[in-house]
Amino acid sequence: MRTILVQIPHDQIELFFTDESLEGIHQLGNIIWNPHHRPFTEQELCEHIQGVDTVITTWRSAPISEEVLKHADQLKLIAHMAGSVKPILPTLDVYRRGIRVLNSNYAIGVSVSESVLALILALGHKIIPVNKEMGTGRNAKSAIYETYELRGRTVGLIGLGMVAREVIKLLQPFGVKLLGCDPFVSAEQAQEWNVELKSLHEVIAESHIVSLHAPKVPETYQMIGHKELSLLRDGALLINTARGDLIDEAALIEELRKKRFYAGLDVFIVEPLSADSELRHMDNVIVRPHLAGVNPDSRLRIGTLMVQELQQFYSNGPLRFEVKESQLAIMT
């Protein structure tokens, strides 16, 4: 009988699993639950992983290190119930051993895409400044608070991965023109998504709204600097729900002081965002503490989709969320 080891802390199980998905995972084999209200240590993971077919990980789980692999004599699958698998894969030996890897980017990406749309609409309709003005007892019905419609705008997507493609779906009713920049996407793929491929600078200069979806890799470090920010048209919206390292934050603050464009930011170079950051107090900025992808709905979606994926794996069916070694280099 196969054995599945779940690293999720015991007090978080109900955050990820519905009654139905719990029943589904129990039908797959013998389940070893983490009894602690904290992640396993590396030593504890080594002690539990012998004879295990599948290990389920999440945020802050003990990584599948070389030491852990020495004890993983039966391991066939790592199922990561969180976003990036990089924190739990400090060694690529898992692939050398034929161990397959799953992640939950799609389950999280659905929520991130909604956050992108929410930030676009909140900035365009000036929801926060209008609410603040109304709270003072004054009437916010003036020209400076008039809305900036999304309908018919040009939206530029920097990176055309899974989240960006979910954003594309949400934007369809608004009749926007879509521009994209992604060196790993072919013209044929872009055409399927109704996206016109252009260079980074062309996308920024020609878009009313620019949304960042590139991975955190050396090539994308501070890819948005003074030059790129200067290309944004007056009144543009800049959205970043990907990684803070994509933007030169000092340059961004300097440009935002000019009040020439607006920004919706969910990620920062250093997190949490410092209490004295100027970004917290700018009228043309919405800041959020890296909340775009994780909420009660997305956690339960993670559990449901992962159980379905495990069922596919054990029945030799096609997998939707497998992470191949070749994909790691371009993943966040």
Q: How many CB atoms sit inside 10 A of residue 172's CB? A: 10
Answer for the pair 236, 208: CB distance below 8 angstroms, yes or no.
yes
Q: Which two tokens stand for residue 56?
A: 């389920």
Token pair 């996407």 is found at 185
CA distance 41 to 276: 35
243 flagged as catalytic: yes
- Give the list of residues 6+ apart from residue 324 with CB closer than 8 angstroms, or none: none
Closest by alpha carbon to 9, among 33, 31, 28, 29? 33
Catalytic choice (243, 249, 255, 301): 243
Ranges of H-type helices in 136-274:
162-171, 187-192, 200-206, 226-231, 249-256
Answer for the pair 72, 49: CB distance below 8 angstroms, yes or no.
yes
Catalytic choice (42, 260, 290, 322): 290
- Write b or e for each residue in 40-50: b if 16 or more Cβ atoms lie within 10 A of its Cβ, otherwise e: beeebbbebbe
Catalytic choice (254, 271, 278, 325): 271
CA distance 7 to 150: 43
Token pair 């991965």 is found at 161
151 flagged as catalytic: no
Among all residues, which ones are annotated catalytic? 243, 271, 290
